Structure 1
Amino acid sequence: MPELAYLLPKVILASQSVARRALLEELGIEVVPYPTNSDETHSLNNPAEVVAMLALRKLQAYQNEHPAYSLPVLCCDTLIFFEGKLIGKPENRAEAKSQLLAFNAKAQEVHSGWALWYNQSILTGTDRAMVYFKHLDDQTIENYLDTLEYMGAAGSYRIQGKGQSLVDHIEGDKGTVIGLPVRQLSHMLADSCK
Protein backbone atom coordinates (compact mmCIF):
# COMPACT_ATOMS: atom_id res chain seq x y z
CA MET A 1 0.00 0.00 0.00
CA PRO A 2 1.42 3.42 -0.90
CA GLU A 3 2.53 5.53 2.06
CA LEU A 4 -0.45 7.82 2.63
CA ALA A 5 1.48 10.30 4.80
CA TYR A 6 3.95 10.83 1.94
CA LEU A 7 1.10 11.60 -0.50
CA LEU A 8 -0.97 13.57 2.02
CA PRO A 9 1.30 15.02 4.75
CA LYS A 10 -1.29 17.56 5.95
CA VAL A 11 -5.05 17.67 5.41
CA ILE A 12 -8.11 19.60 6.50
CA LEU A 13 -10.53 17.01 7.87
CA ALA A 14 -14.03 18.45 7.47
CA SER A 15 -15.46 16.06 10.04
CA GLN A 16 -16.28 15.93 13.74
CA SER A 17 -15.03 12.33 13.90
CA VAL A 18 -12.38 11.86 16.54
CA ALA A 19 -11.84 8.34 15.17
CA ARG A 20 -11.03 9.53 11.64
CA ARG A 21 -8.69 12.17 12.99
CA ALA A 22 -6.90 9.60 15.18
CA LEU A 23 -6.61 7.18 12.25
CA LEU A 24 -5.00 9.82 10.04
CA GLU A 25 -2.66 10.96 12.81
CA GLU A 26 -1.60 7.35 13.46
CA LEU A 27 -0.56 7.23 9.79
CA GLY A 28 1.65 10.30 10.34
CA ILE A 29 -0.66 12.85 8.72
CA GLU A 30 -1.05 16.30 10.26
CA VAL A 31 -4.77 16.95 10.63
CA VAL A 32 -6.54 20.32 10.75
CA PRO A 33 -10.11 19.53 11.89
CA TYR A 34 -12.87 21.76 10.56
CA PRO A 35 -16.33 20.15 10.79
CA THR A 36 -19.06 21.22 8.41
CA ASN A 37 -22.75 21.25 9.19
CA SER A 38 -24.11 19.96 5.91
CA ASP A 39 -27.59 18.59 5.34
CA GLU A 40 -27.59 14.79 5.72
CA THR A 41 -31.16 14.16 4.58
CA HIS A 42 -31.67 11.91 1.57
CA SER A 43 -34.19 9.55 0.03
CA LEU A 44 -31.78 6.87 -1.19
CA ASN A 45 -31.50 3.31 0.11
CA ASN A 46 -28.31 2.16 -1.63
CA PRO A 47 -25.64 2.52 1.07
CA ALA A 48 -22.75 3.11 -1.34
CA GLU A 49 -24.69 5.88 -3.10
CA VAL A 50 -25.70 7.48 0.21
CA VAL A 51 -22.19 7.66 1.71
CA ALA A 52 -20.74 8.90 -1.60
CA MET A 53 -23.38 11.61 -1.88
CA LEU A 54 -23.07 12.73 1.74
CA ALA A 55 -19.25 12.86 1.64
CA LEU A 56 -19.39 15.00 -1.52
CA ARG A 57 -22.12 17.20 0.00
CA LYS A 58 -19.88 17.82 3.04
CA LEU A 59 -17.00 18.78 0.74
CA GLN A 60 -19.22 21.18 -1.17
CA ALA A 61 -20.41 22.70 2.12
CA TYR A 62 -16.79 23.25 3.14
CA GLN A 63 -15.97 24.81 -0.24
CA ASN A 64 -18.97 27.14 0.03
CA GLU A 65 -17.81 28.34 3.45
CA HIS A 66 -14.14 28.59 2.40
CA PRO A 67 -13.76 29.68 -1.23
CA ALA A 68 -9.98 29.95 -0.84
CA TYR A 69 -7.81 27.28 0.77
CA SER A 70 -4.51 25.61 -0.07
CA LEU A 71 -4.50 22.36 1.89
CA PRO A 72 -6.25 19.19 0.68
CA VAL A 73 -9.73 18.83 2.19
CA LEU A 74 -11.12 15.42 3.18
CA CYS A 75 -14.78 14.64 3.94
CA CYS A 76 -16.26 11.27 4.86
CA ASP A 77 -19.48 9.53 5.74
CA THR A 78 -20.16 6.08 7.18
CA LEU A 79 -23.36 4.03 7.43
CA ILE A 80 -24.24 0.47 8.25
CA PHE A 81 -26.50 -1.58 5.99
CA PHE A 82 -28.25 -4.35 7.88
CA GLU A 83 -31.18 -6.52 6.85
CA GLY A 84 -32.14 -4.11 4.06
CA LYS A 85 -32.00 -0.97 6.18
CA LEU A 86 -29.56 1.91 6.59
CA ILE A 87 -28.35 2.28 10.16
CA GLY A 88 -26.85 5.55 11.30
CA LYS A 89 -26.01 7.05 14.68
CA PRO A 90 -28.37 6.27 17.56
CA GLU A 91 -30.48 9.03 19.06
CA ASN A 92 -30.13 7.66 22.60
CA ARG A 93 -29.06 4.69 24.73
CA ALA A 94 -32.29 2.78 24.10
CA GLU A 95 -31.82 2.99 20.34
CA ALA A 96 -28.15 2.01 20.72
CA LYS A 97 -29.16 -1.07 22.72
CA SER A 98 -31.73 -1.98 20.09
CA GLN A 99 -29.10 -1.72 17.33
CA LEU A 100 -26.55 -3.83 19.21
CA LEU A 101 -29.16 -6.48 20.06
CA ALA A 102 -30.11 -6.68 16.39
CA PHE A 103 -26.44 -7.22 15.38
CA ASN A 104 -26.02 -10.01 17.95
CA ALA A 105 -24.24 -13.01 16.32
CA LYS A 106 -24.88 -11.53 12.86
CA ALA A 107 -22.98 -9.69 10.14
CA GLN A 108 -23.54 -6.18 8.92
CA GLU A 109 -22.12 -4.19 6.01
CA VAL A 110 -20.23 -1.02 6.87
CA HIS A 111 -20.04 1.49 4.02
CA SER A 112 -17.70 4.47 4.08
CA GLY A 113 -17.54 7.15 1.42
CA TRP A 114 -15.01 9.93 1.04
CA ALA A 115 -14.42 13.02 -1.05
CA LEU A 116 -11.03 14.70 -1.26
CA TRP A 117 -10.14 18.04 -2.82
CA TYR A 118 -6.53 17.49 -3.91
CA ASN A 119 -4.33 19.35 -6.42
CA GLN A 120 -7.26 21.36 -7.79
CA SER A 121 -9.44 18.30 -8.41
CA ILE A 122 -11.92 16.16 -6.50
CA LEU A 123 -11.32 12.47 -5.87
CA THR A 124 -14.10 10.29 -4.46
CA GLY A 125 -14.63 6.70 -3.47
CA THR A 126 -16.62 4.26 -1.38
CA ASP A 127 -15.71 0.97 0.24
CA ARG A 128 -17.53 -1.80 2.06
CA ALA A 129 -16.40 -4.05 4.90
CA MET A 130 -18.27 -6.82 6.68
CA VAL A 131 -18.38 -6.86 10.48
CA TYR A 132 -19.35 -10.10 12.22
CA PHE A 133 -20.58 -9.75 15.80
CA LYS A 134 -20.01 -12.30 18.55
CA HIS A 135 -22.93 -13.80 20.44
CA LEU A 136 -23.55 -11.18 23.14
CA ASP A 137 -25.56 -11.47 26.31
CA ASP A 138 -27.61 -8.61 27.70
CA GLN A 139 -25.06 -7.75 30.40
CA THR A 140 -22.22 -7.50 27.86
CA ILE A 141 -24.28 -5.02 25.85
CA GLU A 142 -25.20 -3.01 28.96
CA ASN A 143 -21.54 -2.90 30.02
CA TYR A 144 -20.57 -1.63 26.57
CA LEU A 145 -23.29 1.03 26.62
CA ASP A 146 -21.90 2.21 29.98
CA THR A 147 -18.68 3.22 28.16
CA LEU A 148 -20.73 5.78 26.14
CA GLU A 149 -18.75 4.86 23.01
CA TYR A 150 -22.02 4.36 21.17
CA MET A 151 -22.67 8.12 21.16
CA GLY A 152 -22.17 9.53 17.67
CA ALA A 153 -21.18 6.14 16.21
CA ALA A 154 -22.95 4.60 13.23
CA GLY A 155 -24.37 1.31 14.46
CA SER A 156 -23.67 2.26 18.10
CA TYR A 157 -20.13 0.88 18.36
CA ARG A 158 -16.55 1.93 17.71
CA ILE A 159 -14.31 -0.82 16.40
CA GLN A 160 -11.16 1.10 17.40
CA GLY A 161 -12.27 1.29 21.04
CA LYS A 162 -13.90 -1.11 23.45
CA GLY A 163 -16.32 -1.99 20.66
CA GLN A 164 -13.75 -4.39 19.27
CA SER A 165 -14.72 -6.76 22.10
CA LEU A 166 -18.18 -7.12 20.48
CA VAL A 167 -16.75 -8.20 17.13
CA ASP A 168 -15.77 -11.71 16.11
CA HIS A 169 -14.01 -10.67 12.89
CA ILE A 170 -13.94 -8.21 10.00
CA GLU A 171 -13.73 -8.88 6.29
CA GLY A 172 -12.21 -5.90 4.49
CA ASP A 173 -10.36 -2.75 5.45
CA LYS A 174 -10.59 -1.95 9.18
CA GLY A 175 -10.23 1.71 8.17
CA THR A 176 -13.55 1.45 6.34
CA VAL A 177 -15.21 0.34 9.58
CA ILE A 178 -13.57 3.22 11.50
CA GLY A 179 -14.87 5.60 8.83
CA LEU A 180 -12.11 6.07 6.24
CA PRO A 181 -11.11 3.50 3.58
CA VAL A 182 -7.37 4.04 3.98
CA ARG A 183 -6.26 1.40 1.46
CA GLN A 184 -8.54 2.71 -1.28
CA LEU A 185 -7.64 6.35 -0.59
CA SER A 186 -3.90 5.52 -0.72
CA HIS A 187 -4.18 3.75 -4.07
CA MET A 188 -6.36 6.41 -5.65
CA LEU A 189 -4.03 9.19 -4.48
CA ALA A 190 -1.01 7.32 -5.82
CA ASP A 191 -2.75 6.84 -9.18
CA SER A 192 -3.68 10.53 -9.36
CA CYS A 193 -0.04 11.52 -8.84
CA LYS A 194 1.25 9.44 -11.77
Structure 2
Amino acid sequence: MIHLASKSPRRRELLSQLGLDFGVLDVDIPEHPAAGEPPLDYVRRVAREKAGAGLLRVSGSPGAIVLAADTEVVADGEVFGKPVDALQARAMLGRLNGREHQVISSVCLADAGREAQAECVSKVRFGQLGEDELDAYIACGEWQGKAGGYAIQGRGGALVAHLSGSYSGVMGLPLYETRQLLRRFGVAL
Protein backbone atom coordinates (compact mmCIF):
# COMPACT_ATOMS: atom_id res chain seq x y z
CA MET A 1 0.00 0.00 0.00
CA ILE A 2 1.22 3.46 -0.92
CA HIS A 3 0.88 6.22 1.68
CA LEU A 4 1.26 9.90 0.82
CA ALA A 5 2.84 11.74 3.74
CA SER A 6 1.43 15.17 3.00
CA LYS A 7 -1.26 17.63 4.05
CA SER A 8 -1.31 19.13 0.56
CA PRO A 9 -4.52 18.71 -1.45
CA ARG A 10 -2.47 19.49 -4.58
CA ARG A 11 -0.18 16.54 -3.97
CA ARG A 12 -3.21 14.30 -3.51
CA GLU A 13 -4.65 15.54 -6.81
CA LEU A 14 -1.37 15.02 -8.64
CA LEU A 15 -0.72 11.55 -7.23
CA SER A 16 -4.28 10.58 -8.21
CA GLN A 17 -3.37 11.38 -11.82
CA LEU A 18 -1.06 8.35 -11.79
CA GLY A 19 -4.08 6.09 -11.18
CA LEU A 20 -2.84 4.82 -7.81
CA ASP A 21 -4.84 3.86 -4.76
CA PHE A 22 -3.15 5.43 -1.77
CA GLY A 23 -3.73 6.46 1.80
CA VAL A 24 -2.88 9.85 3.26
CA LEU A 25 -0.75 10.39 6.35
CA ASP A 26 -0.91 13.72 8.14
CA VAL A 27 2.71 14.35 9.13
CA ASP A 28 4.00 17.53 10.67
CA ILE A 29 7.71 18.29 10.70
CA PRO A 30 9.50 21.62 11.10
CA GLU A 31 10.22 23.29 7.78
CA HIS A 32 13.06 25.72 8.39
CA PRO A 33 16.45 25.72 6.67
CA ALA A 34 19.45 25.29 8.93
CA ALA A 35 21.99 28.12 8.95
CA GLY A 36 24.04 27.89 5.77
CA GLU A 37 22.05 24.93 4.40
CA PRO A 38 21.90 25.14 0.58
CA PRO A 39 18.34 25.22 -0.82
CA LEU A 40 18.60 21.86 -2.62
CA ASP A 41 19.95 20.16 0.50
CA TYR A 42 17.15 21.70 2.54
CA VAL A 43 14.39 20.52 0.19
CA ARG A 44 15.90 17.02 0.07
CA ARG A 45 16.14 16.89 3.87
CA VAL A 46 12.55 17.97 4.44
CA ALA A 47 11.20 15.40 1.94
CA ARG A 48 13.29 12.69 3.64
CA GLU A 49 12.11 13.73 7.11
CA LYS A 50 8.47 13.66 5.97
CA ALA A 51 8.95 10.16 4.56
CA GLY A 52 10.62 9.05 7.81
CA ALA A 53 7.75 10.45 9.89
CA GLY A 54 5.30 8.66 7.61
CA LEU A 55 7.18 5.37 7.95
CA LEU A 56 6.92 5.59 11.72
CA ARG A 57 3.14 5.91 11.37
CA VAL A 58 2.84 2.73 9.22
CA SER A 59 5.60 0.67 10.84
CA GLY A 60 3.23 -2.23 11.57
CA SER A 61 1.94 -2.48 7.99
CA PRO A 62 3.89 -5.03 5.91
CA GLY A 63 4.72 -3.79 2.41
CA ALA A 64 3.88 -0.16 3.19
CA ILE A 65 5.55 2.41 0.96
CA VAL A 66 5.61 6.08 1.95
CA LEU A 67 5.87 8.88 -0.58
CA ALA A 68 6.75 12.37 0.61
CA ALA A 69 7.74 15.58 -1.14
CA ASP A 70 8.81 19.13 -0.49
CA THR A 71 8.69 22.10 -2.84
CA GLU A 72 10.28 25.50 -2.31
CA VAL A 73 10.63 28.74 -4.23
CA VAL A 74 14.20 30.03 -4.33
CA ALA A 75 15.41 33.46 -5.48
CA ASP A 76 18.86 34.92 -4.98
CA GLY A 77 19.82 31.76 -3.07
CA GLU A 78 17.07 32.35 -0.49
CA VAL A 79 14.32 29.83 0.29
CA PHE A 80 11.07 31.78 0.44
CA GLY A 81 8.87 29.27 2.27
CA LYS A 82 5.17 29.89 2.81
CA PRO A 83 4.19 33.45 3.72
CA VAL A 84 2.74 33.89 7.20
CA ASP A 85 0.52 36.82 6.25
CA ALA A 86 -0.54 39.02 3.34
CA LEU A 87 2.30 41.50 3.93
CA GLN A 88 4.93 38.80 3.65
CA ALA A 89 3.19 37.32 0.59
CA ARG A 90 3.16 40.76 -1.06
CA ALA A 91 6.87 41.23 -0.29
CA MET A 92 7.67 37.84 -1.83
CA LEU A 93 5.69 38.56 -4.98
CA GLY A 94 7.32 41.97 -5.22
CA ARG A 95 10.75 40.31 -5.23
CA LEU A 96 9.65 37.81 -7.89
CA ASN A 97 8.00 40.44 -10.09
CA GLY A 98 9.54 40.55 -13.57
CA ARG A 99 12.27 38.09 -12.55
CA GLU A 100 13.19 34.46 -12.86
CA HIS A 101 13.32 32.18 -9.84
CA GLN A 102 13.71 28.49 -9.17
CA VAL A 103 11.17 26.04 -7.85
CA ILE A 104 12.86 23.00 -6.31
CA SER A 105 10.90 19.84 -5.61
CA SER A 106 12.23 16.69 -3.99
CA VAL A 107 10.34 13.41 -3.83
CA CYS A 108 11.30 10.68 -1.37
CA LEU A 109 9.99 7.12 -1.50
CA ALA A 110 10.71 4.79 1.40
CA ASP A 111 9.72 1.43 2.81
CA ALA A 112 11.04 -0.64 5.71
CA GLY A 113 14.27 -1.50 3.89
CA ARG A 114 15.10 1.19 1.37
CA GLU A 115 14.83 4.81 0.40
CA ALA A 116 15.16 6.62 -2.92
CA GLN A 117 14.95 10.28 -3.77
CA ALA A 118 14.69 12.41 -6.91
CA GLU A 119 14.71 16.14 -7.51
CA CYS A 120 13.26 18.48 -10.05
CA VAL A 121 14.41 22.07 -10.52
CA SER A 122 12.21 24.33 -12.62
CA LYS A 123 12.75 27.92 -13.66
CA VAL A 124 9.79 30.28 -13.51
CA ARG A 125 9.77 33.86 -14.74
CA PHE A 126 7.06 36.26 -13.68
CA GLY A 127 5.93 38.94 -16.09
CA GLN A 128 6.36 42.57 -15.11
CA LEU A 129 3.23 43.20 -13.11
CA GLY A 130 1.79 46.46 -11.89
CA GLU A 131 1.33 47.16 -8.20
CA ASP A 132 -2.45 46.97 -8.63
CA GLU A 133 -2.14 43.49 -10.20
CA LEU A 134 0.00 42.22 -7.34
CA ASP A 135 -2.38 43.74 -4.78
CA ALA A 136 -5.37 42.11 -6.51
CA TYR A 137 -3.65 38.72 -6.39
CA ILE A 138 -2.93 39.14 -2.69
CA ALA A 139 -6.56 40.16 -2.09
CA CYS A 140 -7.84 36.91 -3.64
CA GLY A 141 -6.12 34.96 -0.83
CA GLU A 142 -4.70 32.23 -3.04
CA TRP A 143 -1.20 32.88 -1.65
CA GLN A 144 -2.09 31.23 1.66
CA GLY A 145 -0.16 28.01 2.29
CA LYS A 146 1.78 28.30 -0.97
CA ALA A 147 5.57 28.31 -1.26
CA GLY A 148 6.63 31.68 -2.64
CA GLY A 149 3.11 33.04 -2.16
CA TYR A 150 1.56 31.89 -5.44
CA ALA A 151 -0.24 28.93 -7.00
CA ILE A 152 0.66 28.25 -10.63
CA GLN A 153 -2.42 26.02 -10.99
CA GLY A 154 -4.75 28.85 -10.00
CA ARG A 155 -4.91 32.58 -10.58
CA GLY A 156 -1.17 32.70 -9.97
CA GLY A 157 -0.67 31.04 -13.36
CA ALA A 158 -1.48 34.41 -14.93
CA LEU A 159 1.60 35.88 -13.22
CA VAL A 160 3.93 33.42 -14.97
CA ALA A 161 5.41 34.58 -18.27
CA HIS A 162 7.65 31.54 -18.76
CA LEU A 163 8.18 28.09 -17.25
CA SER A 164 11.14 25.88 -17.99
CA GLY A 165 10.80 22.56 -16.22
CA SER A 166 7.96 20.66 -14.63
CA TYR A 167 4.52 22.20 -14.21
CA SER A 168 3.57 19.45 -11.73
CA GLY A 169 6.86 20.04 -9.93
CA VAL A 170 5.98 23.71 -9.45
CA MET A 171 2.57 22.59 -8.14
CA GLY A 172 4.27 20.38 -5.55
CA LEU A 173 4.81 16.87 -6.93
CA PRO A 174 6.88 16.31 -10.08
CA LEU A 175 5.01 13.45 -11.72
CA TYR A 176 7.80 12.22 -13.99
CA GLU A 177 10.26 11.83 -11.12
CA THR A 178 7.54 10.33 -8.92
CA ARG A 179 6.69 7.77 -11.60
CA GLN A 180 10.36 6.82 -11.98
CA LEU A 181 10.72 6.26 -8.22
CA LEU A 182 7.54 4.20 -8.04
CA ARG A 183 8.79 1.99 -10.87
CA ARG A 184 12.08 1.44 -9.01
CA PHE A 185 10.00 0.21 -6.06
CA GLY A 186 8.09 -2.18 -8.33
CA VAL A 187 4.81 -0.26 -8.19
CA ALA A 188 2.75 -0.92 -11.33
CA LEU A 189 1.26 2.17 -12.93
After superposition, the C-alpha distances for 1:160-186 in whole angstroms (9 at most, x for unaligned) are 111101101210111111111211222
Within the alignment, does 1:142 sit opposite 2:160 as a pair?
no
Query: Residue in 1 aligned with 2:46?
Result: 54
Residue number among 1, 9, 14 corresponding to 1:23 in the alignment: 14
Paired with 2:18 and 2:142, the residues of 1 have a C-alpha distance of 23
- Residues 69 and 105 in structure 2, CA contact (< 8 A), matched pair in contact too: yes
Q: CA RMSD in A?
A: 2.0
Residue number among 166, 174, 192 corresponding to 2:167 in the alignment: 174
After superposition, the C-alpha distances for 1:12-53 in whole angstroms (9 at most, x for unaligned) are 111111111111123323342212111323414311111111
Cα distance, 1:119 vs structure 2: 8.0
Query: Residue in 1 aligned with 2:37?
Result: 45
- Residues 101 and 125 in structure 2, CA contact (< 8 A), matched pair in contact too: yes
Structure 1 residues not aligned, in runs of 5+: 1-9
> Cα 1:120–1:127, aligned 2, differ >3 Å: closer, same or farther?
same
- Residues 47 and 86 in structure 1, CA contact (< 8 A), matched pair in contact too: yes
Cα distance, 1:101 vs structure 2: 0.9
Query: Residue in 2 aligned with 1:67?
Result: 59
Aligned residue pairs total 185
Paired with 2:120 and 2:48, the residues of 1 have a C-alpha distance of 15
Structure 2 residues not aligned, in runs of 5+: none
Paired with 2:67 and 2:16, the residues of 1 have a C-alpha distance of 14
Paired with 1:100 and 1:146, the residues of 2 have a C-alpha distance of 13
Query: Residue in 2 aligned with 1:121?
Result: 114
State the identity %.
Answer: 28
What secondary structure does 2:121 align onto? strand
Query: Residue in 2 aligned with 1:161?
Result: 154
Cα distance, 1:71 vs structure 2: 3.5
TM-score if structure 2 supplies the norm length?
A: 0.89
- Residues 48 and 127 in structure 1, CA contact (< 8 A), matched pair in contact too: no
Paired with 2:20 and 2:138, the residues of 1 have a C-alpha distance of 31
> Cα 1:192–1:104, aligned 2, differ >3 Å: closer, same or farther?
same
Q: Aligned AA for 1:162?
A: R
Cα distance, 1:103 vs structure 2: 0.6
Deviates more, 1:79-88 or 1:39-48: 39-48
TM-score if structure 1 supplies the norm length?
A: 0.87
Q: Aligned AA for 1:141?
A: L
Cα distance, 1:108 vs structure 2: 0.4
